[in-house]
C-alpha cells in the first residue's frame, strides 16, 4: 500500500460510517420568499467554524404546479432541477437538466412521479458518497423504480424506512411518509389492474417482467454488495426495452427532433403560412416536447463556464449526454418518420444535421473517432431533393448546410460552402458574422461550431479578407456572386 495514494486505496471491508441526519429532515415547510437584498454569500476564505455562523441561504423556488393548473402530466422542466445548496446569483439561470445515472437509457426521460423537495432529497441519498453501504439502492432499486410509477413510490418508501431505522432518537416522520408512498404504490397498481387495457398493455407487462429479471439476476449482487454489473443479455435487452416503454405519456408523433429558435417558430405558428401539416406538427413538437438538444446545448454552455472548461476533459459527462441523444436521432432513420415525400426529405435532412451537430461536440470531448462521410453524403441528397420545399424555413436550411460542411471534405465540402453562401445572400446576410449570429440563436455551441464554420467559409473566392486580417470582418460580395451565378446559369 506504500506506493498507492490514499484516494485510490480500497475501503476496509466493514467501514464504520457516521450518519448524520437533521431532526427536521422529514418536515416539508412551504418556502417563504425572503426580501431582496438580504442574501449574503459565505466568504470563501473563512474557516469551518466561521462558516457555521453564516447560515446557508437556499434559493427559493415557487411551489410546484399541479397538473390541473398547467394542463400537463408533468411540471415544467425548471421544477425538475435539484436545488443547489450554495449561494447562486439571481441573474444566473440554472440548467433544466434532470439528474442522470439513474439507470435510464435516455437521461432526458422524466421521473414517473412529480418531484418536490422531499422526493429530491430522498433521491440524492442514492448519490451521496458518505453512505457506502447504500449501493444496492442506487444500482438496483432506483433503476427499477424508474420503470413505473408504483415502483418509484415503493423505492421512496424503502428509502424513508432506511432513514427511520437509522435514527437513534427523535420524531420519526419517515414512518408515516413511508406508509403514504407504499399506499400510493398499491393504489396505482390496483387502479391499472382494474383497467383491462392498461393491465394487458405491453408497457405494464414489460415492467413486471423487467422487475422479475432484476430480482433474479441482481439478487446475488444485492446480497454480496458486488460492484460488478450483470452481463446477462436477456436482462440487458429487457432493461433497454422497458426504459423506453415506461413513459407516462407515449409520443404521438414520429417526427424529427430538431430545434429552431423560439422567436422564429413562434412567428411561424402565429402567421398564416401555407406550411404542410406535418411541418406544423413538427415545429409545435420542437417547442413543447422535442427540445432535448437545445437543453443539452444550454447545459453544456453553462458547465463550460462554471468549470472553466474542465468539463471538456470529463468523458463520462460527454458520453452520458451525447450517446443517448445520438441514439434517439439515429433511431429515426428509415421508415420511422412517416410523411409525404417532400416533407420527408426536409425532416430526414434535419435529422442528419442534428447528428452532425453532435459529431463536432464529440470531437470536443475526444470521444473515440468520429467518421461522418456517409451522413454528409445523405444530407446532400436530401437537401438537393428538397430545394423548393423549404419556403420560410430558409434559415434552417442554411443551418443544415453549415453542419454538413463542417464534417465534409473535398468537393463535397466546397458544395456545402457555396450553398451556404448562396442561401445567405438570398436572405440578405452580407457577412459571415451576421449569418453566424442568426444560427447561434438556433442550435450552436460556439466553442465547437464557430471555428469550424469560419474554416468552412474562409476558402471561398467570394469572401474578401478584411484590412485587419480578422475573418469576422470579411464580407461577401453579392454582386460578384450573382454575376458568376448568372454566367453559369446561361451556359446551362
Mean pLDDT (whole number) for 295-323: 85
Please indicate, yes or no, if residue 79 is contained in any of the structural domains.
yes
Whether 277 and 240 map to the same domain: the answer is no
In a domain, 225, yes or no: yes
pLDDT > 70 fraction of the chain, expressed in percent and rounded: 46
Show which of 404, 424, 444 is a domain's final residue. Answer: 424
226 and 284 co-located in one domain: no
pLDDT at 170: 53
Supply the pLDDT for residue 11.
47
pTM over the 0.75 mark: no
The total number of structural domains in the chain stands at 2
Residue 455 lies in a domain: no
Examine residue 58 and state whether it is found in any structural domain, yes or no.
no
Q: How many Å apart are CA 132 and CA 126, to the nearest integer?
A: 10
Lowest mean pLDDT among 55-59, 119-123, 378-382, 440-444: 55-59
Point out the least confidently predicted range of 228-237, 264-273, 405-414.
Answer: 264-273
Q: Which residues contact 117 (CB under 8 A, 6 or more apart)?
A: 28, 83
Residues 241 and 270 occupy one common structural domain: no
Say yes or no to pLDDT of 275 above 50: no
Residue 186 lies in a domain: yes
pLDDT of residue 473: 34
Say yes or no: 136 and 282 in one domain.
no
Lowest mean pLDDT among 1-15, 174-188, 353-367: 1-15
User: Are 280 and 213 members of one domain?
Assistant: no
Q: Are residues 77 and 161 in the same domain?
A: yes
Domain boundary pick from 220, 245, 270: 245
Question: Does 435 map to a domain?
Answer: no
C-alpha 403/C-alpha 464 separation (Å) is 23
Could you tell me if 226 and 272 lie in one domain? no
The pLDDT, as a whole number, for residue 450 is 92
Is residue 490 assigned to a domain?
no
Same domain? 81 vs 226? yes
Let me know whether 300 and 386 are in one domain.
Answer: yes
Residue 301 sits in the same domain as residue 367: yes
CB atoms within 10 A of CB 441: 13
End-of-domain residue from the set 378, 402, 424? 424
Whether 205 and 323 map to the same domain: the answer is no
Domain that holds residue 224: 73-245
What confidence category does residue 269 fall into, taking pLDDT thresholds of 50, 70 and 90?
very low
Residues 266 and 408 in one domain: yes
- Residue 471 pLDDT class (50, 70, 90 cuts): very low
- Asked if residue 113 belongs to a domain, the reply is yes
State whether the Cα torsion 114-120-121-123 is positive or negative.
positive
CA separation for the pair 75, 113 (Å, rounded): 10
Amino acid at each position: 500500500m506504500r506506493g498507492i495514494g490514499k484516494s485510490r486505496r480500497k475501503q476496509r471491508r466493514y467501514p464504520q460510517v457516521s450518519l448524520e441526519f437533521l431532526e427536521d429532515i422529514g418536515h416539508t415547510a412551504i418556502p417563504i420568499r425572503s426580501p431582496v437584498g438580504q442574501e449574503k454569500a459565505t466568504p470563501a476564505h473563512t474557516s469551518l467554524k466561521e462558516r457555521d455562523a453564516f447560515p446557508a441561504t437556499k434559493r427559493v423556488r415557487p411551489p410546484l404546479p399541479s397538473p390541473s393548473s398547467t394542463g400537463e402530466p408533468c411540471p415544467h422542466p425548471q421544477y425538475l432541477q435539484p436545488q443547489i445548496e450554495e449561494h447562486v446569483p439571481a441573474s444566473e439561470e440554472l440548467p433544466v437538466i434532470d439528474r442522470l445515472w439513474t439507470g435510464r437509457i435516455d437521461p432526458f426521460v422524466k421521473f414517473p412521479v412529480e418531484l418536490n423537495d422531499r422526493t429530491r432529497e430522498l433521491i440524492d441519498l442514492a448519490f451521496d458518497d458518505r453512505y457506502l453501504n447504500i449501493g444496492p439502492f442506487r444500482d438496483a432499486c432506483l433503476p427499477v423504480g424508474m420503470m413505473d410509477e408504483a415502483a418509484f413510490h415503493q423505492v421512496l418508501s424503502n428509502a424513508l424506512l432506511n432513514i427511520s431505522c437509522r435514527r437513534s432518537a427523535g420524531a420519526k416522520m419517515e414512518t408515516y411518509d413511508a406508509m403514504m408512498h407504499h399506499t400510493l404504490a398499491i393504489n396505482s397498481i390496483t387502479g391499472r389492474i382494474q383497467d383491462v387495457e392498461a393491465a394487458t398493455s405491453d408497457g405494464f407487462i414489460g415492467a413486471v417482467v423487467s422487475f422479475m429479471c432484476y430480482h433474479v439476476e441482481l439478487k446475488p449482487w444485492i446480497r454480496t454488495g458486488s460492484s460488478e454489473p450483470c452481463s446477462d443479455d436477456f436482462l440487458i435487452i429487457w432493461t433497454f426495452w422497458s426504459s423506453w416503454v415506461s413513459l407516462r405519456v407515449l409520443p404521438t408523433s414520429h417526427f424529427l427532433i430538431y430545434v429552431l429558435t423560439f422567436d422564429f417558430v413562434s412567428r411561424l405558428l402565429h402567421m398564416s403560412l401555407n406550411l404542410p401539416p406535418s411541418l406544423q406538427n413538427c415545429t409545435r413538437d420542437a417547442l413543447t416536447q422535442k427540445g432535448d438538444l437545445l437543453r443539452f446545448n444550454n447545459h453544456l454552455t453553462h458547465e463550460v463556464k462554471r468549470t472553466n472548461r474542465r468539463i471538456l476533459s470529463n468523458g463520462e459527462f460527454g458520453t452520458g449526454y451525447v450517446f443517448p441523444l445520438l441514439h434517439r436521432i439515429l433511431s429515426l432513420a428509415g421508415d420511422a418518420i412517416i410523411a409525404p415525400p417532400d416533407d420527408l426529405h426536409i425532416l430526414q435532412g434535419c435529422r442528419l444535421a442534428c447528428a452532425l451537430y453532435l459529431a463536432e461536440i464529440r470531437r470536443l470531448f475526444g470521444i473515440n473517432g468520429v467518421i461522418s462521410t456517409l451522413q454528409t453524403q445523405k444530407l446532400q441528397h436530401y437537401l438537393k431533393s428538397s430545394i423548393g420545399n423549404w419556403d420560410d424555413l430558409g434559415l434552417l436550411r442554411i443551418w443544415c448546410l453549415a453542419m454538413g460542411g463542417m464534417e465534409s471534405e473535398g468537393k463535397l465540402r466546397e458544395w456545402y460552402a457555396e450553398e451556404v453562401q448562396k442561401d445567405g445572400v438570398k436572405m440578405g446576410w452580407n457577412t459571415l458574422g451576421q449569418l453566424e449570429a442568426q444560427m447561434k440563436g438556433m442550435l450552436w455551441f460556439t466553442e465547437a461550431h464557430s471555428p469550424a464554420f469560419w474554416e468552412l467559409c474562409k476558402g471561398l473566392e467570394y469572401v474578401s479578407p478584411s484590412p485587419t486580417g480578422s475573418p469576422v470582418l470579411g464580407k461577401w460580395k453579392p454582386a460578384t456572386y450573382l454575376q458568376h451565378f448568372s454566367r453559369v446559369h446561361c451556359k446551362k
